[in-house]
Structures are given as C-alpha cells and as structure tokens.
Amino acid sequence: MRFLDSRVAQLAPYVPGEQPQTNDFIKLNTNESAYPPAPGVVEAVTAAAGRLQLYSDPTCRPLLAELGAYLEVPQDHVFVGNGSDEVLAFCFQGLMGQGVAYPDITYGFYPVFAQLYGLAAQVIPLREDLRIDLADYATAKGTIIFANPNAPTSLGLPAAAILELVTADPERLVIVDEAYVEFGGQSMVPYVKEHANLLVVGTFSKSWQLAGARLGYAVGQPLLINELNRVKFSFNPYSVNAMTMAGGIAALQAREYHRNCLEQTLAARSWTTRALEKMGFEVLPSQTNFLFVKHPAVSGAVLYPALKKRKILVRWFANPRIEDYLRITIGTQAEMEQLAAALQELID
C-alpha cells in the first residue's frame, strides 16, 4: 500500500517468550524472578496509582538518586527507560553512528534493533565452547555490544578482559548489557567513571522482581547519558511512568528482600545444576538466573514440547548452533524439583 514504509515492511520483529494466558504452567521461559515484588513496592505503586491524574516526573530525579546511590555513581551518570529493551533501543538509535558489532548468539533484540535503525552490523561468532572471545573484537568497527553474562548461554567474562577491550581504543564505545550480572557476574559499573567509552545497561526485570513494571537503566559518563536523554526527549519523555518510578525506588530500598531473593535463586540454581548433571545433562557453568543445558541422548527440540505438555514452559531456540540445548529459568526450589522429576521421566 502507498503509505506503508517498505523498510518497516521488511523488518523481522523480536519474538518474546510466551506469556501463558492460564496460571497452570510452571513458567521457566523468560528469566523473570521467581518471587513477587517486595511488600513496600506494592504499597508504593498503589500510592502512586492514586495520583495518576498527573504526568510522571520526566526528570526521574528521585529514582536516579536512589539508583545512583545503589550503584555508587553520581546521578548524572544514570539514565532510566521503559525496560532495558527501550534503553538498548536508544543506544542503537543514538550511539552507533559507525555501525555495531555483537556476537552471533546473544540477546535476540540486538539484530532486530540493528535492522530497525538501518545499522551496518558485524556479527561475530562465539567460540566452539559458546564463549565470547574478546580478541575477536579487536578490529571491530563501530560500537561493540554484548551481554555479560551472555544470554542464552549463561556464561560470563571477567571484568579484566572487558577492561582490556575498553582501554584498547578509547574512541570506540563498548556497551555491556548486564541484565543478569547480580547472579554471579562481574559488573563494569565501577569502571565507568574512568572510561568515557564504556556504557553499562541494566534492568529491574531479573533480579529486582519488576519485569512487568518495565524499568531499565544505563550507567555512563554524562556525555553518553545526555545523548540517551536527547533520544528519549525526542520520543517520549514520560517513558518511565509514575507507578514504575515509585516501584523502582521502593525496590531499591528493600535491600534485604532483594538479597534474600538472590540467595534463594542461587541455592535453587546449585541444586538444579547438580540434579541435572546426575541425569547426564551437560550444564554450562551459569552466572545467571537460568541454565543452558543439553542431554547427550535427547535433544532440546524433543524436550521442549514434552515439558510443555507437562505444563512446564522453558525456552528452546531453533538456531542450528544451539538447537540441542534448553534454556531453563531458575524458579523456586519446589518448581525446580518438579522440573527435575519431569526431565527424569523424559530421558528414562
């Protein structure tokens, strides 16, 4: 049709993990937290809902102050957006003038954003062992972006290796997506003050129990943060709504609850790793709230639908390099015991 944009018509959009319409699934497919928001979060969101006749604060200052204090950076080093998906979209839109390089197996939104914003993209294969080798990025042109720890592999890089890449060329921007860093990765946030070409992206969706609220952030020097704000204020200054802002602040204040949820997730991860290894699964050493696993006899392509039939939802990727694997979010201990029992039946 005349009014359609042919470039948009050719886009291959991101396919989000399934959100079942019924409550009878054990949901281990989108790496959300297994636990509800802290009680103070529900209270704060309810109070904010009572003032919804007003626009939200476009400066987001109270949230930036709280988040800056948690991350131990000044608040002018912090940017917030509607989930890290939006923050990443703004990065692709505003910080990749010279193109972008990212791994072949990583968060599925990167290639979508590259296509959406018409960027020259260099796709760099993971090594045979599914790890990122930053030596492969030495001659990459434009901005480099990767998730650390990476998804869906669950594998992390040490901060020292990333720092080497950052310092190798101060004119080249490195963006590290730390969606899962709190589950055992090494954060690059402490290095942002020293390095103008480093930007860290984070989210409240995985370790803060707020996936449904949509809250993500970026940490970098003010020059980068100002560019992200330029994009945001050219699009939607209110993308972090009043309830999300209140929920984010309250979550950051409920530190003990946050720590408890992390500890329970890590304990359930250790238990599940051991249980699956006993069944013969290869379990990659996870630094995230999910496991990437494969069985020598039964492929992920077979296990995924069989688990779904048993009302257990995990994630399977139809990508030739990883089609034998399953990505399994760490749920509660009880959920992981049900998963292990189902897998045992399926491989017997």
Ligand X SMILES: Cc1ncc(COP(=O)(O)O)c(C=O)c1O
What residue ranges bind ligand X (CB under 6 A)? 31, 83-85, 107, 147, 151, 177, 179, 203, 205, 211, 216
The answer to whether 312 and 28 are in contact (CB under 8 A) is yes
Instruction: Show the tokens assigned to 205.
Output: 């969706």
Q: How far is the CB of 105 from ligand X (least distance, A)?
A: 12
Nearer to ligand X, 145 or 250 (CB): 145
User: What residues pair up with 292 in beta bridges, in sequence order?
Assistant: 327
Nearer of residues 177 and 335 to ligand X, judged by Cβ: 177
Nearer to ligand X, 151 or 246 (CB): 151
Closer CB to ligand X, 142 or 152, in the complex? 152
* Encoded tokens for 290: 């999910």
Output the CA–CA distances (angstroms, integers) from residue 243 to 19, 41, 56, 251, in the order listed: 22, 10, 8, 12
| 177 vs 182 by CB, closer to ligand X | 177
Q: How far is the CB of 211 from ligand X (least distance, A)?
A: 6
Distance CA 243, CA 229 (A): 20
Q: Which residues of 94-118 are buried (b: 16+ CB within 10 A; e: fewer)?
A: bbbeeebbbbebbbebbbbbbbbee
**Which of 243, 249, 251, 250 has its CA nearest to residue 54?**
243
The rounded distance, in Å, linking the Cα atoms of 245 and 213 is 9
DSSP assigned state of 275: H
Distance, C-alpha 218 to centroid of its chain: 12
* Helices of type H across 279-332: 300-309
Secondary structure letter of residue 16 according to DSSP: P
Other C-beta atoms lying within 10 Å of the C-beta of residue 345:
10
Cβ contact 215:44 at 8 Å: no
Minimum Å gap between C-beta 83 and ligand X is 3
Q: State the minimum distance, in angstroms, from the CB of residue 224 to ligand X.
A: 18
**C-beta of 86: minimal distance to ligand X in Å?**
7
Gap between the Cα atoms of 184 and 319, Å rounded: 26
31 vs 273, which CB is nearer to ligand X?
31
Compute the least distance from the CB of residue 180 to ligand X, in Å: 7
Q: How far is the CB of 10 from ligand X (least distance, A)?
A: 24
Shortest approach of ligand X to residue 179 CB, angstroms?
4
Q: Which is nearer to ligand X, 243 or 275 (CB)?
A: 243
Q: Which CB, 105 or 276, lies closer to ligand X?
A: 105
Residue 198 C-alpha from the chain's centroid: 18
